[in-house]
Amino acid sequence: MKVLLMNSYGPLVGKMITSGRCQVKVNPGMGVWPPIDLAQIASVIRAYADNVLILDFMISHCSREDAFKKISEFSPSIIIIQSSTPTLKNDILFCRKLKSALPKSVIVFFGLHATARPQDILCEDIRFAVRAEPEITMKELVRAFEGGITTGFENIKGLSYWQDGKVFHNPDRGYVLDLDSFPFPARELLQNKRYILPYNREPFTIITVSRGCPYQCAFCTSRLYYGALSRYRSPESVISEIKEVIEKCGIKNFVFLSDTFNFNKEFVFKLCGLIASEKLDIKWVSNSKVDSLDEKMAQEMKRSGCWLISLGIESGSNKVLKNINKDIAVAKSQKTIKIARESGIKTLCYFVFGLPGEDADTVRETIDFIKKGKFDYAHFYTATPFPGTDFYEQARKNKWLVSEDWDRYCHGSSDVISYPFLSNKEIQSAVTKAYRAFYLRPGVVWKEVSQAGSLKQLMGVIGIGAGMLKLLFPKTTEISGKV
């Protein structure tokens, strides 16, 4: 049986990152991420499929006709697509056309929107939606088809499906507690050298080190997808995967993917110690909750090759942070940035404008924080109330939603939230002002150019800078003087 796993058709939706809980357009400095979720599913279902293919249309430059041709030539029995809220409409249209060309193929959606609102997807052409953590549900579904089953899917937990003109939702599936039980992602099915880290123009890959988050941030989709329990792989398993990637792919740049990387201190210290003792010559980045990093941990991370930490600062206003259940304070964010800087680790800080409680005063507080902040890089987003989050329910209840057109629900550029005291245009304007306040400061460009350690890094800095111009001077954003 042939199984195709595919990412959204990029030319229709733009470059997107949809790994795990991400639903964000690619910004300068990010690069397109390898679809590690597809590679992980591929490794799990292989026992029941004799031919598995991954097509990532986020890095493909082929036309839609060529895409159809590639898929038709492969002629898969099952097509599995990783979809997201902002790509949903195009993904459905694309798959319906696929179905007309390949009527015997079974189409399966998974991802955040499939988890929150499978009813938006399911129809006669698209019969299956896998909710939440997908691997085991996918394995059982593929095994069912490999065994010749075409009806009677009620025993597969975590599955929603269309049958006899009706939508059925099976009970939720529990999360996998032992992440070491998964085989390593099938990276041999990816075009690994095409996923380039913009800052040094070298290939990179993602290693998932944990899943789940115990925190309750109102806007976040992590708990919806991976649950509230933080589940970590063993450091030994992560080290084994790093070694395999170096040996088989020749890649030495890594993103350690986790919602709560620094939450488990024992894990972090042991992983860093193993990287150092094994003398693995790698560079890696991770995220960190701002109240989970201390001086000793930062030093160990730096010693083992960590060069950047991403921090979800979200806002420079304690009022907004309290409203979204962020459970941190502005002063703590400032302290964590200082710890990283003094340890020699760069910081990438994320800010979101338009969260509940945002007004002209809180916007100014955040802009002031940004101007004074001694972090290295920043991304600024408009708040997006994704289905399945507390923020979405709150926005619907309070009539803050401008639209439920899912095309507009892209984290970073959405315009679907508007408050009586702060419009969606003013929120977009705040993002532009934040980019200018941070990146147009004297010396920012010179610092990056002077710190480039190689020609590749210099070219990377230039490329990122060119891309940043679109964020600094957007064509469509109207800059208001109200914030």
Residue 242 has pLDDT above 60, yes or no: yes
C-alpha to C-alpha distance for 52 and 57, rounded to whole angstroms: 16
User: What are the tokens at 98?
Assistant: 């696929």
Q: How many CB atoms sit inside 10 A of residue 185's CB?
A: 26
Average pLDDT over residues 49-58: 92
Question: DSSP readout, 189-228?
Answer: GS-GGG-EETTTTEE-EEEE-EE------TT--HHHHH-S
pLDDT band at 410 (very low <50, low <70, confident <90, very high): confident
User: What are the tokens at 270?
Assistant: 């042991």
User: What is the predicted pLDDT for the residue at 445?
Assistant: 63
User: What are the tokens at 252?
Assistant: 């030495």
Residue 113 has pLDDT above 80, yes or no: yes
pLDDT band at 333 (very low <50, low <70, confident <90, very high): very high
What lies within 8 Å, CB to CB, of 415 at 6+ separation is: 382, 402, 408, 424, 425, 427, 428
Percent of the chain with pLDDT over 70: 91
For the chain, the average pLDDT equals: 89
CA distances to 37, 61, 67, 460 from 11, rounded to whole Å, are 21, 8, 11, 24
> What amino acid occupies position 31?
G
What residue ranges do the domains of the chain occupy? Answer: 2-169, 179-472
CA-based end-to-end distance of the chain = 58
Query: Considering only 7-16, 200-209, 427-436, which range has the smallest mean pLDDT?
Result: 7-16
**Of residues 319, 255, 323, the one with CA closest to residue 288:** 255
Residue 81 has pLDDT above 70, yes or no: yes
CATH number for the region 179-472 comes to 3.80.30.20
Q: Mark 353-366 as b/e (b = at least 16 C-beta within 10 Å).
A: bbbbebbeebbebb
User: What is the predicted pLDDT for the residue at 479?
Assistant: 35
Q: Which residues pair with 129 in a beta bridge?
A: 109, 160
pLDDT band at 477 (very low <50, low <70, confident <90, very high): very low
Residue 458 has pLDDT above 60, yes or no: no
Question: DSSP readout, 125-158?
Answer: S--EEE-SS-HHHHHHHHHHHHTT--S--TTSTT
pLDDT band at 228 (very low <50, low <70, confident <90, very high): very high
Q: What tens digit of pLDDT does each residue of 264-319 get?
A: 999 999 999 999 999 999 999 998 888 889 999 999 999 999 999 999 999 999 99
User: What is the predicted pLDDT for the residue at 42?
Assistant: 98
Residue 425 has pLDDT above 90, yes or no: yes
Q: Which residues pair with 167 in a beta bridge?
A: 162
Q: What tens digit of pLDDT does each residue of 357-389 get?
A: 999 999 999 999 999 888 989 999 999 999 999
Average pLDDT over residues 141-147: 89
CATH superfamily of 2-169: Response regulator (3.40.50.2300)
Q: Which residues pair with 24 in a beta bridge?
A: 17, 411
Helix (H) or strand (E) holding 169: strand 166-169
